[in-house]
Structures are given as C-alpha cells and as structure tokens.
Amino acid sequence: MTPFESTEQAKILVVDDESRIRDACTLVLSEQGAEVATAVDGDQGVAMIQREHFDVILVDLMMPGLSGMEVLSFVREKHPHTVVIVITGYATLEHSIEAMKKGAFDFIPKPFTPDQLRTVVAKAIRYNRALQDIADTNSRLKTLVNSLIDGVLVLDRDRRVVLANPAFLHMIDYHGESVIGQRIDELPVGDTLPSMIDEALGMDSDALTELVEELSWGEGEQKRFFRTKCTPFRNRTRVNIGAIMVLNDITALKELDQLKSDFVSLVCHEVRSPMNSLMMQMQVLLDGLAGEVTEKQREILSRAMAKMGGLSDMVSELLDLSRIESGLITREKEQLDFAALLNDQVTFHRPGAAERQSSIELHVDSPLPWVFANKRGMEEVLTNLITNGIKYSPGGSTIDVTCRVENEYLHTTVADNGYGIPAEDLERIFNRFYRVKDENTRTQQGTGLGLALVKSIVESHHGIVKVDSTLGKGTTFTFLIPLNEIVSA
C-alpha cells in the first residue's frame, strides 16, 4: 500500500521559483498516486489556491514577489484546514521555525531526498485526512443537534456557551446576537439553569453522572415547562471541563395532565353527592325505618353498602390527590402539635385493631417538636399506614407507631408483624391503583390509592417515605419530614 492510498486522490500544490524543485516534487509525488500542480511564484500560487482546493501545499519561503510566509498567512486565513509544508534552505532555518509558529504543518530543508519528501508529505496527507474526518463528524453532529426538537446547550468550565441549538434558543425566546461565548447567567433562563450548571461542574469524579429537574419560565399563557437533564463531561483524568444540558418541553403534557386532573375532580364532585344520598337511603332501609327488612334483603343491602363505601373512599382519595397536584395542600399548612396528632390517630384506630384482636402501641420522643404541616394531609398519611398495618396483619398482631427527631428529620415509623410485601412489588406499591395480590391480601378491599396518596402528601412537605418488608415477618413504613418544616413550640 502506498503512503498516499486513500478513498480520494490527494491534491498537492508545489509553489517554488526553482523549476528543478517543482519537477522533482511532481515526479516523486505523482508516482505515489497524488495529483500534483505547480506554481512558479507566490502570486501564481495564491491565484491557484483561490480557484481550487488542495489537500497539501508545499511552498518555498524565499521567492520573488509574494514570499512563502505571505502565502502561508493567506492559506491560514482563507483555508485553515489545508496543510502547508514550507521548503527552506539551511540559511533560512530560523524562518522555517517562525513559519511553524504561524501554522505551517512541517518544513523540509533543501536539498532533500525523495524518501524525505515522501515521508513528510505522507504525514501531512494523513493529518489532512484526520482533519477532514473531524470536520465531517462535527458537521454531522451539528446537523443532528440542530435538527433535534429538544433544546441542547453545551458550556465550558467557565460556564460560557460552546453550543446552543435552535430549539434551545426558541425555548428561551432568544433573538439577539450569537450566544457562543456568552456566560449562562447572561441569557434569559432564570436562576435554576445556572444553579444546575454550577452543581454539575462541581461534581467530583465519583458523584452522580447527571442531574434531572423540572423547571419553568414565563408567565400566564407564555409559561413553559421543561424536563431538564444536566451532565458534566470530563477529560481523561476525570476532571470536569464543561457540562451539557438537554431540555425537553413538557408544556403540552402538563396541560394534558391538568385537564385530566380537572376532569377527575369534576367527576368525583359530581358523583359524591348522589352517592352519599344513596348510602343514606340504604342505611335508612338497613335500620328498618322504611319498613321491615328480611335477612336476605339485609345481606344484599350490606354488600351494596360495603361496595358503595369502597367507592366513596376512592372518590375521597382521588379528590385528595387532586388537591395535592393543584398545590392546595402546600398552601394550607399550620403549626401542629405532632405528638397530639399521633395520639389522636392511634386512639381513633385502636377499636378497629381490637376487632381483630390486634393492638397499636405508640412510642414518641418527649418533648416532640411541633411541625409546620397540613393537618388533614398528616392525618391521611397516618390513617393509611395504620389501617394497612391492621388489614395486612393476622389477628392478634401488634402495630408499633414511633416518632423521633434524628439527623435533622422528624422520623415517624409504622411497623407491623404481618404478611409482608414480596420484593418484586416493593418498587410499585406507591403507584396509583397498584395493589399486591396474593393469598393473604386478595380478600382485602381497597382502591390502590392509599400509598400513592401517602407518598404525594409526604413529598409535598419536602419529605421522604421509605418501606422495608420481609415476607412472613412484617412491613415497616417510615416517613421523614425535614427539620426546616418544623416550628418550635
């Protein structure tokens, strides 16, 4: 394989005022498969360079008219990816070094042998091909990034923009001059985006590889919502040298989600009144206030009442979820005596536990701080967790409720020694309408919304809910509320 073998034939220009140099270069390089053109001086060389493209240019430094240094400057300005090799005599070696500093790829001193010429030109052609491959790759990547419907923003370690595709500029409604080189805080992107960039650039090499947040900007009908992912990129020594951010416009999804929530809320409100009326009338029948009821009729009415009760619970839980999604629960917080709240809930549920010969034990740190929270929400959380402990434990079990302050969180735990939850179900138990179905639980009624409601309420208080379970030994739910939600009594 010859040094110049390639998918494309190399085009080489030799600019030298000595005919023997031009002829020798043409002979040697042509034998290697190159297409060689020659120019007798710098002026002719520049004219040829303006008319056509060359992969490699060999230029003598010392020529009448335009010098080789001037030809080099012209090529670097007009055709920065063209490789230039300077030809020099020993007397102009210092000029050759100066040419290298100004962008020449290499130099070859006169007199030179055919092998020396072949070697330096082959190296230059490989370099030229590598530059072309990089340029082609960059062009394809730029086309790909520019065609994405997601916004893409790339910044260097100084938080200056390296790349911003049209989708990103449209998302921030930017119509000014090029953003390349601008700092992120100079763009109309609010505070969250720069904060994410700072956090990503500050990650150490062992930290998480990406940050994901949901953010918005704009007001009223112009408000847009975005799912944003920010990832640092690192050099070979795993030092952060920049960050890339991808923004996905989820405004339409948010609007659909809001329509769904509005529809569910409307239906629930419309269903609740006639449903309550039906339950009251069935209770009148069961109480015999509308006439004597046979045992068969009582059995049928009781089953209907139980089903209606389950439907009523689901409506209530759907409305509660709607309140959480609308943000009402976060606006309805107050100072709560959490110890008193726990005591009230445990006292309320003890009769239900006693019906199954079970008991509920309460253990709290004393004194327990008050908490700034939504009272109804906290009651919902405790009710769901305690009733689950009663329902999913065999008769004679004990449900332990504990509360303490630890590591800047208020920890509340509800533990039972019941049936437990299979490991494969643990990741899904907080999903809406999901219920564990096995031999022990299939007879239990429920909507599958209780734990989803627990998770939503706790997270609306900037808290965390966790579960730990072992089949046949029981389940422990723990929810944590950060201390910055706590107000001293």
For residue 262, pLDDT over 80 is answered with no
CA 123/CA 134 separation, integer angstroms: 17
Q: Which pLDDT band holds residue 20 (cuts at 50, 70, 90)?
A: very high
- Residue given tokens 């199954």 in the structure block: 356
Residue 270: pLDDT over 80: no
Asked which of 90-94, 166-170, 245-249, 417-421 is least confident by mean pLDDT, the reply is 90-94
Q: Give the CA radius of gyration of the chain.
A: 38
Give the per-residue pLDDT at 279.
82
pLDDT at 468 over 70: yes
> Checking phi first, is residue 96 left (phi over 0); if not, alpha (psi -120 to 50) or beta?
alpha
This prediction has a pTM of 0.50
Residue type at 65?
Answer: G
What integer pLDDT is reported at residue 1 of this predicted model?
43
pLDDT of 205 above 70: no
Quick one: pLDDT band at residue 415, thresholds 50, 70, 90? very high
Question: Using CA atoms, how far apart are residues 435 and 437, in angstroms rounded to an integer?
Answer: 6
Mean pLDDT calculated for residue range 445-462:
80
Q: Give the chain's mean pLDDT.
A: 83
| Class of the CATH domain delimited by 254-326 | mainly alpha
- Does 3 score more than 60 pLDDT? no
**How many C-beta atoms lie closer than 10 Å to residue 423's C-beta?**
10
Report the 10 Å Cβ neighbour count for 390: 21
432 alpha carbon, distance to own chain's centre: 23
**Mean pLDDT score, 46-72:** 91
The Cα 170–Cα 155 span in angstroms is 18
Q: Tell me: domain 148-249, CATH 3.30.450.20, correct?
A: yes
Contact 420, 472 (CB under 8 A): yes
Instruction: Say whether pLDDT at 32 is over 90.
Output: no
Q: Which fold has domain 332-487?
A: Heat Shock Protein 90 (3.30.565)
* CATH code for the part of the protein at 11-144: 3.40.50.2300
Domain boundaries, the chain: 11-144, 148-249, 254-326, 332-487
Rounded average pLDDT over 463-479: 90
8 has pLDDT over 80 = no
